[in-house]
Structure formats: structure tokens, C-alpha cells
Amino acid sequence: MTSSSSAPIAPPVLVVRPDPVRATIWGALGLVLAAAGIWLAVDTRGDPIAVLAMVMFLGGAAWFLVQWILPSRYTVTFDDAGVHMQLPWWREPRGIGWDQVHLVQVNALAGDPFLEIQIRTAHGLDTRGVILPVGADVPAVHRWLDAYYGG
């Protein structure tokens, strides 16, 4: 979609957060999945497959619950300095400066939008991917990137 070749002028800062309604729905579904996983593991008296299913259900539930309970811990910010991400498992936000970015685009992974960022490294190009928050305003991300790169 976009690549950096000149020094673009950044539009106003865009902060992408979880949508409260979708995060609530998916958080509630996560609680149901977690309960189902625990029930399955208990009902089968610790069958290894059931325990594995429980771990997967709990992981999925945690992913959505964090976005529901702590939406400020899951943001992606676009500004004139670069892309900054605050994810639940990072203590501090991390960023990628536009001077490092070769290509940035929004793709889908299993139906969920994610940001694909190719960055320049000493060894060539490397790709980073960041799953956008639940219910993220993907059209706003497209508009911001188009405005930034003059697309």
C-alpha cells in the first residue's frame, strides 16, 4: 500500500484502541471459552488433550479480556515520529521510526487486521507484524497512511 521514499508530512496523531462494544462481546465470549475449557479438563479428569484445550481456551480468553478490561494497554499510535505500540505484555510502549520503515500495510490474519511493517536493518529488510485491537478502525488507519504518504 505505502512505502516511504520522501519526507511526508504527517496528518494529526491517530490512536487506534479496542472498540468498547466489540471488546465487551469478545471478552464475554472469552469468559465462556475459559469456563468451557476448565469444565472440559475437570470432566475428563485431566486428559492431556482436554488440558491442552483448556490452555488454548484460557489463552484466547486472556487475549480478549485484556482488551476489554485494560483497553489502554492495547493501543497503536501513528504520528510524525513513527508507529508506537502499547501491547499488554510489554511494560513500555515500543516504536518504529518512519526513517526505519520501508513498507507498511494493513493485512488480515485469520480474519483479524494486522499491521505489516517492513523495516530496514543492517542485514536488509525485516518484517514486523502487529495485530490491531479488537474492532480497530481499519479505514481510519488506511486514511492516515494514505494522508501521510500522499496516496
Three cell numbers, residue 67: 482488551
Q: Report the share of the chain in percent with pLDDT over 90.
A: 7
Residue with cell 501521510: 148
Q: What mean pLDDT value characterizes the chain?
A: 83
Overall fold of domain 14-151: PH-domain like (2.30.29)
> Does residue 1 surpass a pLDDT of 60?
no
> Is residue 89 pLDDT above 80, yes or no?
no
Can you point out the beta strands (E) in the chain? 2-3, 14-16, 75-79, 82-86, 94-97, 101-109, 112-121, 124-131
With a cut of 70, say whether residue 80 has pLDDT above it. yes
Dihedral angle sign, alpha carbons of residues 59, 61, 64, 67: negative
Cβ atoms of 77 and 84 within 8 Å: the answer is yes
d(C-alpha 93, C-alpha 73), whole Å:
9
pLDDT tens per residue across span 4-24 = 555 556 678 999 999 888 888
pLDDT (tens digit, 9 = 90+) per residue, 38-55?
888 888 887 888 888 888
pTM equals 0.74
* CA distance linking residue 52 with residue 59, whole number of Å: 11
What single-letter amino acid sits at 79?
D
What are the sequence ranges of the domains in the chain? Answer: 14-151
Q: What does R_g of the chain's alpha carbons equal in angstroms?
A: 18
> Which amino acid is it at 9?
I
How much is the pLDDT for 7? 55
